[in-house]
Structure 1
Amino acid sequence: MNKREPYGGRTRKLVVALDVGTTFSGVSYCLLDPGQVPEIKGVTRFPYQELASADSKIPTVIWYDKDGNVREVGAGAMRDGVESIAAVEEWFKADLFKLHLSPKHLRRELKASAIPIPPLPPGKTIVDVFTDFLAYLYMCTKTFISEHHPNGPQLWRSVQSTVEIVLSHPNGWEYIEQDKMRRAAIRAGLVPDLDEGLKRVHFVTEGEASLHYCISNNLNTEGMKSGGRILVIDAGGGTVDISAYERRMEQGKQFYGEMYKAECHFQGSIFVTENAKKYLQILLKKSVLKDDLRYICEAFDKTTKPRFRTSTEFAVIKYGGPRDSDPDIGINNGQLILPGPQVAEFFKPSVDCIVKAILAHQQSILKASTVFLVGGFSASDWLFKSIRSQVESEGVTLCRPDGHTNKVVADGAVSWHLDRRVSSRVSKFTYGVKASENYSESDRQHLRRKSRSFRQFSGRICIPGLFTTILPKDTKVKEQQEFRYSYHVELEESDEKLIHREIICYRGSRNTPKWVDEDPDHFETICTLEADLTNMIKDHPPVKGPDDTYYYTFDYDIIILFGMTELVAQIAWEEKGEEKRGPVRIVYNAV
């Protein structure tokens, strides 16, 4: 169904997908040789993981010393003795740092979860930490390829200047978060800070990467053929990403389009551990072993949580030795016994979140015939069984990969770059621009805002603060579909010819306001588009205004492509009856 064609390029290339997860991270890659069918492989050996299985991923952890230097990363950051060295030498630990990159509008949900996010090390920004971690993953990739391929060092040298980098991220992340990751990739030395280098950094959502993994591995092929609609649930360490797709044929090829806007919820596996921690804090409050809370939680996270299968049996947390006992609360010989139903309660918010999403989709007009549960958290038998027991009665077939669930995003990100099976996406919010319109004494809205009015060089009086929608939310957008907004600009001869236009996002629940000041808390500037008009207006003679000031007048369109995984923009104008186009620089807001 999804046979991949031989690579048609003329020169060898390398695609590397870096999956930075909340708790664990991994790398997949594909060496593209002309005439050969691409094969996706994984980096299966990292420092201090020489004895790990072939699906190894590394902990998303970095230790910094007090001078801000990286001391240990990944598996090395978790090896025996590091905690003691860190305490003596005053190191700082960066873990769960991916959550610091969460979009502003999702931080409310994250805050409501009450999970304590460890602060970043002193003097470090989230871009700093991402830079160091990406640099480490890339170094490991270079070492692995150099050591595991014939003529590895020579091979690496032949492709390192053209490597295509794919960075995956949760469904809820957007353009601002992508920009921060792009800056980290540049600073990490993955690509040069040039147009050629920037074009080699690509972004894909974890939901879309998971879809491509399912397609390329022919999971539940018959179900996908018969129904054509699938729901992909990527349950990871921090987030649960939910994506719905519909199969369609375009020009004789099979593609998928989003049916509904992608979802992102903070209900990954770390929240199960946090629920357990809150329960254990109360349980141990008056115990002589209350200082063992940290070690009990770590043992729960590493062994009890992933092995929990049934609520009809007791669950055991093995964390200590014979001297660690408090029979009154169920601790004997370093083992804490918990009732199965209580452990099930730790999972319940995550289970409920996923079940609610599945049932909501089943109640819609377009029902999914198959639901795929993927991601590291999907390896939990209890999670899988609990969800399946609640959705089977609704006619839902729940599936999960038989292979390594924690490889899904990295492998899928490479597959996305090679195959590009998604041809349309659904806008999550309303996007538009701030504009102005000619003042009218008969317009009550204009009268309310008269104090903000301004006069153009032509003498026109305008009212600013108008929100003009370019792309409404919940709109299905094809990849190459263009959205335009027309501008009229008046510039003095002495004015700078570099224009700036902001792209605004409205995240409110009400009908899109016409004016930004009607619901200001739900408007957010996503980015600023910059374009140089110098060469465009050079053949336009200045005109004389009513106050004898000479100025330029120029009409142009901003063209935006929202249907891709990244924002793309151009400027267009008419010259001698023919449309011309030029580049636009996108500057993202630092939030």
Structure 2
Amino acid sequence: MVSYQGDTKYLGREMVAVAFDIGTTSSAVSYTYLYPDDFARVRMITKWPGQPEFVGSSKIPTLLAYRNGQCKACGAEALDYVDDSHYDVAKWFKLHLHPPSMKSSNQPPPYGSISGTPGFEVPALPSAITIEEVYADFMKYLMVNVEDSFGQNVPNGVAIWKRLRDTMVVILTTPNGWDFTQQDVLRKAAIKAGLVSEDKAYDLLEFVTEGEASVHYVLAYSQSKAWLATDTLFAVIDAGGSTVDSTLYECKSTEPKVVLEEACESECIQAGGVFVDRAAEVMLKQKLAGTKYGEDDFIADMVTAFESRTKRLFDGEVTSYAVDFGNTRDNDRPNGIIKGRLSLITTEIASTFEDVIKRTMDSCLKLLSGRKVQYILLVGGFGESAYLRKKLTELFESQDVILVSVEEQTKKAAAEGSIIWYIKQSVAARIARTTLGTKLRFAYDSENPEHRERESLKFMDNDGLRIHGGFNPMIQKGTRLDNNFTVQKRVHLTFPVSQCVPHDLSIEIFAYDGDEAPRWMKDANGNELPQFRCLCKLEADMSGLQGSLKTLRGPSGPYHAVNMIVSIRLGGTKLQARLQWKENDTLREGPIAILPGALA
């Protein structure tokens, strides 16, 4: 089914692009066949194995069923094995990748666990199966169905797929709060699944945040011409299964095409629909404790019914709601169970939403603080909640902020938005979400108190006394990066004359996640600060300089010195880094390294 059609003709090379939005509870896939001088069309897969023909939904459950370490079923077909003791089911596995920064909060909500103790219990992965293997198995399943859909819906699709398969671009959505570590897991999984080859992974595999994908979807389907104008400041809130991503955009122009810029660093918190489900599970266990309906099997059926209907219908307007979990023989009038229907009052259901909505509101208020925002665009699976929409409307209507939602409950905004994003590329400037830099060895200064307290870190280098542990920032967190952004820093290297010019030299790029990057990566005792992490290594073969370098003399004897440039540029949606140096007045460059996760 064609969902979106571009408004201008495509002028690039003939190609196929596929987008996977693997969510915590549900997933979806979109694709496009781009042909020169034709209009781009986006298709969503709406027919999946195990899904009734009449459903026509692009969403499938993010589930895998394993037996003896082998994946036996995925998606809707895996639902048949949820209660089968011979199978291990992988569910909510996306939570295993959430970084600690997304789980922290100044006021962490008491998401209940099954045992009733504070904290949220992430369902364990099947025995002996890694998170990378789970993603690889699910990606493989998704790609098989993409190929089937492409062959059935695109004229001459089987032949086109075979011809363009090796150059296909694969787009994966990620929460705003994920970075290099999580993307590396997905990249390895994509290679293992056969989506891309290892040697082409950096060229053919694209990552886009769910927030940026969603804004393209909303612009396509929310009649944006009616509300979007130059200088409009608006926020996109993507409330999903396990995360709520909030991004602030400023519209720079609408003609000849929409151009947006990120106005500040985006927000990403661990909150969403699965936390409401878990809170409901705890509430039901407490409510029905000591009765037969408080047993695990009944509670599981109630939570399933709550998630599929009650949670979605709840708007807080009526006094009671029903959870249809059983049959006519299930009765316990004192606890509100009549003919398989559990009656819950408004305050009971509202309590399951309370913590998630508070976190969502706090995140929105933090993002919008001090800014005159005109619109909030609400998308995502949890964004379909009438109660969430009501609470956000109540919060922001006094500030003259209009809440805009897109009523397309059978779709996933990020899946379709990813392909629209790839086609249109409407965001012209992004915000660095972390500080990037390299290690630095300062020339030792005995008059500097910071140097004196780090006396134990000083050493005699080829060109004099130096001190370890410094940090050389290249991009500060919060920096606005437009499409032609480039930054370069000089690096000075020395080595003894007796040592050959290195052919495998490497320099590490580090990320600092705090707000204000310090001058030092190590404290006075030589311990590395925990906020620093290595993103990648830049490599260079400098053996061509052998015999051409001048000999210099230092405290430790004769040595050679080389000046190099660490260059970082924004290429498309990726930060690319490489080493550069002069060799007989000719510029040489090392291989490009991608710095994913560095942009908001």
**One fold, TM greater than 0.5?**
yes
Contact 1:260–1:474 (8 Å) recurs in 2:
yes
Q: Which residue does 2:79 correspond to in 1?
A: 78
Q: Paired residue for 1:582?
A: 590
**1:92 aligned residue:** 88
2:542 equivalent among 525, 534, 548: 534
1:7 paired residue among 10, 14, 22? 10
CA distance in 1, matches of 2:322, 2:110: 30
**Paired residue for 1:25, among 24, 27, 32?**
27
User: How far apart in 2 are the matches of 1:344 and 1:385?
Assistant: 12
Aligned to 2:162: 157
1:265 to 250, 266, 269: 269
**Local SS of the residue matching 1:199:** helix
Cα displacement string for residues 536-555 of structure 1 (whole angstroms, at most 9, x for unaligned residues)? 52463362545786543211
- In 1, distance between residues paired with 2:255 and 2:466? 48
Residue type matched to 2:333 in 1? P
Q: 1:461-485 CA deviation, whole Å, 9 max, x = no partner?
A: 2101112222222221113311222
1:162-561 map, 5 Å:
162-194=167-199, 196-217=200-221, 219-225=223-229, 228-249=232-253, 253-291=257-295, 292-365=298-371, 367-404=372-409, 406-458=411-463, 460-492=464-496, 493-494=499-500, 496-508=502-514, 511-518=516-523, 520-535=528-543, 537-538=545-546, 540-541=548-549, 543=551, 545-546=553-554, 551-561=559-569
Normalising by structure 2, we get a TM-score of 0.90
The Cα of 1:577 is off from its aligned counterpart by: 5.3
Distance 1:250 1:312 in 2: 42
Superposed CA deviations along residues 236-277 of structure 1, whole A, max 9, x for unmatched, are 111111011001149965311101111111121111111111
For structure 2, the 5+ residue unaligned runs are 112-118
Tell whether 2:565 aligns with 1:569: no
2:37 partner amino acid? G
Distance in 1 (CA, whole Å) between partners of 2:571 and 2:358 is 31
Amino acid at match of 2:341: Q
3-state DSSP class of the match of 2:590? strand
Residue 105, structure 1, aligned to residue 101, structure 2: yes
Contact 2:58 2:410 in 1 (8 A): no
| Kept in 1: contact 2:491–2:564 (CA 8 A) | yes
Contact 1:6 1:36 in 2 (8 A): yes
One-letter amino acid of the structure 2 residue matched with residue 524 of structure 1: F
Superimposed CA distance per residue, residues 498-556 of structure 1 (whole angstroms, 9 cap, x where no aligned partner) = 223222222335x4322223495542213232312325524633625457865432111
1:290-342 CA-partner distances (Å, limit 9, x unpaired): 11222211211112111213343201111112332222222222221110122
CA contact (8 A) 1:311 1:341 kept: no
| Residue 131 in structure 1 maps to residue 123 in structure 2 | no
Q: Choose which of 27, 36, 39 in structure 2 pairs with 1:37.
A: 39
Question: Judging changes above 3 Å, is the alpha-carbon distance between structure 1 residues 517 and 323 closer, same or farther for their aligned structure 2 residues?
Answer: same
Q: In the TM superposition, what is the alpha-carbon distance from 1:21 to its structure 2 partner? A: 0.5
Q: Is the 8 A contact 1:311 1:343 kept in 2?
A: no
Residue 389 of structure 1 aligns to a residue whose secondary structure is helix
Structure 1 distance, partners of 2:254, 2:333, is: 66
Deviates more, 1:182-191 or 1:209-218: 209-218
Report the more deviating stretch, 525-534 or 255-264. 525-534
- Which string of whole-angstrom CA distances, capped at 9 and with x for unpartnered residues, describes residues 96-132 of structure 1? 1111111242244599742210112222222111111
- Distance verdict in 2 for CA 1:254–1:436, change over 3 Å: same
Range with greater deviation from structure 2 (440-449 or 32-41): 440-449
Q: Match for 1:335: what amino acid?
A: R
> Secondary structure at the residue paired with 2:466?
strand
Q: Give the Cα separation in 1 of the matches to 2:284 and 2:397.
A: 33
Deviation at 1:158, TM superposition (A): 2.1
Q: Is the 8 A contact 2:506 2:540 kept in 1?
A: no
Counterparts in 2 of 1:517 and 1:548: CA distance versus 1, 3 Å = closer
| Aligned-partner Cα distance in 1 for 2:396–2:325 | 36
Conserved 8 A contact 1:436-1:463: yes
1:563–1:541 Cα change, 3 Å: closer
Contact 1:478/1:563, CA 8 A, preserved across alignment = no
Partner SS state of residue 171, structure 1: coil
Q: One-letter code of the match for 1:512?
A: A
Distance in 2 separating the partners of 1:135 and 1:3: 29
The count of residues paired between Structure 1 and Structure 2 equals: 577
Contact 1:529 1:584 in 2 (8 A): no
**1:208-250: CA deviation from partner (whole Å, max 9, x where unpaired):** 0011112233533222126522110111111111011001149
Shift of 1:140: 0.8
Q: Secondary structure at the match of 2:311?
A: helix
State the one-letter code of the partner of 2:92: L
Given the superposition, is the C-alpha separation of residues 213 and 571 from structure 1 closer, same or farther in structure 2, using an over 3 Å criterion?
same
Q: By how many angstroms is 1:166 displaced?
A: 0.7
Q: Residues 439 and 508 of structure 2 are in contact (CA less than 8 Å); yes or no, is this contact kept in structure 1?
A: yes
Conserved 8 A contact 1:425-1:563: no
